[in-house]
């Protein structure tokens, strides 16, 4: 447990590093671009997209603190670039949770196994997609929670294998690139 807090302390100091600021900014921009061009709304509440892959890669390279710092801004910029309904600031909690989940599973890992990718993706789908986003949408529109969650369960089950494969390939690429990016 002590090692984890030491790692967090070192990660917090990294936000002063120009390489970290630029790297997180590039993944931030990639997330916005992927949200704009590589996501489709099936219904107003159900979106299929791959923008979280950019966040996962950023969390792998730069860890929780820099990604948690940019999370609220990422949520706001994604809404400005591609508005969908009314802006509800509480959705920032979802972006915080996304950064926390992917940082927990990927930051500081030399190798990323398929098991770890599946656990990360399931955690993201259950905590962020099914629970938090559904809860916030329910609060925003007054729609019953289960009416929102039910179709999302089906969507997540259908998309899970695709999301896992894409995330696994991305993380494998990140593990190969990491030694070259250390400056």
Q: What CATH number does residue 24 fall under?
A: 1.10.1760.20
Cα 30 versus chain centre, distance: 12
pLDDT, residue 182, reads: 66
Could you tell me the residue range of the domain that residue 109 belongs to? 2-181
Name the stretches of the chain with pLDDT < 50: 183
CB 35 within 8 A of CB 83: no
pLDDT, residue 38, reads: 87
- What is this structure's pTM? 0.91
d(CA 26, CA 138): 33
Number of domains within the chain: 1
DSSP H helices in 41-183:
51-62, 64-81, 92-106, 114-123, 133-141, 145-181
CB 149 within 8 A of CB 134: yes
pLDDT, residue 152, reads: 92
pLDDT, residue 183, reads: 47
């Amino acid at each position: 447990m002590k090692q984890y807090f030491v790692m967090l302390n070192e990660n917090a100091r990294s936000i002063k590093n120009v390489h970290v600021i630029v790297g997180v900014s590039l993944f931030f921009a990639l997330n916005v671009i992927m949200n704009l061009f590589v996501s489709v709304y099936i219904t107003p509440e159900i979106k299929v997209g791959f923008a979280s892959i950019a966040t996962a890669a950023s969390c792998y390279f730069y860890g929780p603190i820099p990604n948690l710092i940019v999370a609220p801004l990422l949520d706001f910029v994604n809404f400005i670039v591609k508005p969908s309904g009314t802006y509800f600031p509480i959705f920032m909690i979802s972006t915080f949770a996304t950064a926390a989940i992917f940082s927990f599973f990927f930051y500081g890992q030399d190798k990323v196994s398929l098991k770890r990718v599946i656990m990360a993706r399931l955690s993201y789908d259950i905590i962020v997609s099914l629970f938090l986003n559904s809860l916030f949408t329910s609060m925003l529109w007054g729609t019953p929670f289960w009416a929102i969650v039910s179709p999302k369960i089906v969507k997540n089950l259908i998309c899970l294998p695709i999301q896992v494969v894409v995330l696994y390939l991305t993380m494998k690429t990140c593990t190969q690139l990491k030694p070259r990016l250390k400056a």
